[in-house]
Structure formats: C-alpha cells, structure tokens
Structure 1
C-alpha cells in the first residue's frame, strides 16, 4: 500500500469514527438510554482498535521492507509476532 493509499484509508476510517462520535453526542442531547450509548461507544472502541491495527500492519510491512534480515527463521518470527499483535488489536 502506498503512503497516499494509507493516508486515504486512515482518513476514511477517521471519518467513520467522527460520525459515530457525532451520533453519540446527539444521543446524549436527546437523553437516549445508557445501554444504547454504551453500545455505540463499543463500536467506536472497535473502530479505533481496527484503525490502530491497520496502521500497525502497514508500519510493520514498511519496516520489514527497509531492513535486510538474512535469517528466514528470524524474519518469520517477526512477521508472526506482528500478525499476533494486529489480531489482538482487532478484538
């Protein structure tokens, strides 16, 4: 993914998060029940975690491209560690 593609993707995801926040503000102003507000907050948390995972994934790929690791076992372990961290963030 190019830097421009990453930028566009991140901005789109941030726009979605902004929309969720605006929706929650409206819900609070309209005195909606706490359960519904908490559900929407959970959606925001998930969206932020997925955005973090997306950025981490792209950053890790760029870092691995910049370094020359001759040991294929070491490189595989780094890639596995990165995939594990990304999976954990997405939950």
Structure 2
C-alpha cells in the first residue's frame, strides 16, 4: 500500500489533528467563548481537509495514473482532478 511509504507524514498530520481535538475538548470543558470554540473547530476542519486531500491525491497518483510519470490524456485529467481537489477541499 502506498500509504506505508508516506506513513510518517500521515501519522504526523493525524497527531496534530488529535492535539487539536484535545484542545477543543479542553475548551468545551472550560466553557471557552463560542468564537474561540468555533476557531478551534475551523482549524480542525482545515487539518482534516488537508489530510483528506493528501490521501486522495496519493490515491490518484498510485492507483489511477501519475501525471508526473505519463503524458496521456488520462494523466492530464488526473492532474486537473488533483488541482480541483486541492482547491475544493481547502
């Protein structure tokens, strides 16, 4: 599986998300202001979206076609899809 080669990078992202979740939990336990809680939620959502985009891009590159290795119309389509995903998921 290709995620094994990127495992350290993915695990680092997951650990950051875990830390953000723990900060959110503490914020709720300590009755932080709504705006502060919403900022923590937004940062978690961004981190999860970043992880999602990275895993999806890796999936496209390893299981469909890697646009850096080919120049076919499928490769161009994959490159376009990767760009759309990066933009959409942000």
* Short-chain TM bin: 0.7 to 0.9
Contact 1:21 1:44 in 2 (8 A): yes
Give the alignment's Cα RMSD to 1 decimal. 1.9
Normalising by the residue count of structure 2, what TM-score does the alignment of the two structures yield? 0.81
Within 5 Å, give how 1:23-42 maps onto structure 2: 23-42=23-42
Question: Which residue matches 2:84?
Answer: 84
Gap regions ≥5 residues in structure 1: none
Q: Which has the higher helix share?
A: 1
Alpha-carbon distance between aligned partners in 2 of 1:18 and 1:55, rounded to the nearest angstrom = 17
Deviation readout 1:33-73 (Å, 9 max, x if unpaired): 111000100000000000000111111110215xxx8x723
| Greater relative CO (CA pairs within 8 A, separation 6+) | 1
Counterpart contact for 2:20–2:44, Cα < 8 Å? yes
Q: Report the TM-score, using the length of structure 1 for normalisation.
A: 0.81
Q: What is the aligned length? A: 85
